[in-house]
Structure 1
């Protein structure tokens, strides 16, 4: 009995159809049927029956489904544990980064680290920040950059930099004439914002709901660039932080600070407390902190 066979069985149980499962597994129905027959012969029982609604699990099939789920979950955890061991021994950094943070630390930071440590294998993947948190919680990667507040009992949390989130408006918009704004000023304004996979989306929508209204979101996107483009065209308003605004700055726009609470884009670096120290990850963390310190001192330009 192989893990692959268990996954095939679970897909058939989920889809209640061999032909339906075949589309997801990229297998022929005949190949799937052969696996199911092998499992039944090995267990000496009938795992499923057919009726007009599709394939149904027998009582034995339901019990086997529970077993298959546990075995796959345990095997997945084993794979991740072994990967962590191998990464530590081979000196690997496997970085999960939220969009925007590599812009914050600059690509040169990564290039310099690679040049200084050619013996360290470096990999990175970028995702929306909430997806980074999900993957890291599932034990993907061995270091993460993300946005927000984090469980310091579970993770080593190193603050990188924080920026106030501000309202982004066209200079011809009436709100551009204000020195500060409140969340109520956003009511009924067409809003372009990053999607629900981003921390900033949830912060702004929750602030609006606390103020008693739903934001008028006309479009959700996976990055700041479209928001800036639409504000530049005076199609609506958005929110942004200083360093991204300066990096993507177009004429005719203005950032206006909020005055009614904490609106913060807080970038952090995470490692897991449960894992043995990875020398490569430790060196990378030290490099990041030193690099950002040089940016703050003006020795390196962002």
Structure 2
């Protein structure tokens, strides 16, 4: 006997009609009649009686109906438990815009991690930490730190990414191999939205002040790529890490800065007390593979 036999019997018992049951099951009436006959042949007893009120269960039919209901309920419960278990295994990882996230994917695959349980979410740093605290993601990989948002979160510093002066290709300093940041004090800077990227802006502003000037802000971009595109137009300069896009956009160049503070932390966050084995395993892979190799230069 198959599951379809039980479902058909339950539908006929509920509808009290072969024709109504066949319509709801999307089967022909002869097919439904045949299935009921097959069940009755197997159990060796009639399960329905035809009355003026329709198809009614016999005494044996009622017993079999209860048994069929328990079996179908058990199957649905098992499926629900499996789906719930799989859902609990899903690991949501937040990251800042960067092509280097694919290095993490390769390392996880190399470590034979269950890749079909991983979901990636591209957020700015502030939104990542909020999402992490609200249980929308499980791991955050972000640039910079901020004590306002990392309460109740554990921070792991992975790497210090070097920041470069990013200037238009036609800029007066574009041919230099290295520059002092104060050489850009008369230029307009493109920065990132303070609301979306508070960590980046505090680092960039501190660098300029340490170089002896306050940056003149010409444009506040809503993302890294928008900032680079603005620089490529020739209207502004900026301070950014490499590796933001997967190809070089014509129109700008990266130049190393002669400074001791031209770095921004690349950090990994998780909720304090996180006990899920899958999350701990990924954190271990991130620390072992990326801290030493410096691959998270994002």
1:76-116 residue CA offsets vs partner (Å, 9 max, x unmatched): xxxxxxxxxx889932312232333xx22317717965995
Counterpart mapping for 1:1-302 below 5 A = 90-100=88-98, 103-106=99-102, 109=105, 113=109, 116-118=112-114, 121-137=117-133, 140-149=136-145, 155-196=153-194, 197-198=196-197, 199-209=199-209, 213-244=213-244, 247-275=246-274, 277-289=275-287, 292=290
SS at match of 1:191: strand
For residues 177 and 114 of structure 1, the distance between their equivalents in structure 2, rounded to whole angstroms, comes to 41
Give the corresponding residue for 1:52: none
Does the CA-based 8 Å contact 2:158-2:291 persist in structure 1?
no
TM-score for both structures, normalised by structure 2? 0.56
For residues 210 and 270 of structure 2, the distance between their equivalents in structure 1, rounded to whole angstroms, comes to 33
For residues 200 and 271 of structure 2, the distance between their equivalents in structure 1, rounded to whole angstroms, comes to 24
Alpha-carbon shift at residue 173 of structure 1 (Å): 1.0
Does the CA-based 8 Å contact 2:203-2:264 persist in structure 1?
no
For residues 158 and 87 of structure 1, the distance between their equivalents in structure 2, rounded to whole angstroms, comes to 28
SS at match of 1:145: strand
For residues 260 and 253 of structure 1, the distance between their equivalents in structure 2, rounded to whole angstroms, comes to 21
Greater CA radius of gyration, 1 or 2? 2
Does the CA-based 8 Å contact 1:147-1:265 persist in structure 2?
yes
TM-score for both structures, normalised by structure 1? 0.56
1:48-102 residue CA offsets vs partner (Å, 9 max, x unmatched): xxxxxxxxxxxxxxxxxxxxxxxxxxxxxxxxxxxxxx889932312232333xx
Q: Which runs of 5+ in 2 are unaligned?
A: 1-83
For residues 283 and 218 of structure 1, the distance between their equivalents in structure 2, rounded to whole angstroms, comes to 44
CA RMSD of aligned residues (A): 3.8
